[in-house]
Amino acid sequence: MKQGKYTVETFARKQNLSRQSAINTLSRLKKRGYVHVSGGGSQLRIYQISKLPQQPTNGFYDIANRYSTEKLFPLFQHRVIGRYTIEHAIIDGIRIGDARTLEATMHLFRHVTNWKRLMDLAKKHRCASEVQRLYKKARDTIKLRRMPERYK
């Protein structure tokens, strides 16, 4: 199996298979983690085949790129086992600490649902003052809800 990007038709042609056999093969490879699929619907479905199984990421960069207007290129693969919330992502963004990451992290304050969890995590990681400073800066530039008084 050669790695690269394929449509169903190009994969079938390269592997010398019928279209249905190519779909079945790609489906089996996808279940094992060797294929990542993008597109679909009105777009052409693109299958990206890799030699090693790829684990899906669910960490900081996925959350930051979902909720922020400023998209980030992942500097590292961040996989989390268990629950990873917006509050965890804010703390991780502050701990990464470069300028673009902090810009993107400011947009995450719009989606905080549990201020207590955020401040408890900040105290645990010893960055409560940085969280408050970033929140004040974000409040100046972005329309945000107010942080409850007890956490200011």
CATH of domain 4-49: 1.10.10.10
- Rounded Cα gap, residues 132 and 112, in angstroms: 13
- Is the per-residue pLDDT at 114 higher than 80? yes
Report the chain's mean pLDDT, rounded to a whole number: 92
What is the per-residue DSSP string for the chain? ---EEE-HHHHHHHHT--HHHHHHHHHHHHHHT-EEEE--TTSPPEEEE-SSPPPPP-SHHHHHHHH-SS----SS----SS---HHHHHHHHHHH--HHHHHHHHGGGGG---HHHHHHHHHHTT-HHHHHHHHHHHHHHS--PPPPGGG-
- Is the per-residue pLDDT at 37 higher than 80? yes
CA angle centred on 142, ends 152 and 139, rounded to 5°: 20
Phi/psi for 12 (5° steps) reads -65, -40
Q: What is the pLDDT of residues 81-109, one digit of tens each?
A: 889 999 999 999 999 989 999 999 999 99
Strand pairing partners for 48? 5, 36
- Is the per-residue pLDDT at 125 higher than 90? yes
Candidates 79, 144, 56, 76; CA nearest to 105 is 144
pLDDT of residue 134: 96
**Where do the domains of the chain lie?**
4-49, 60-145
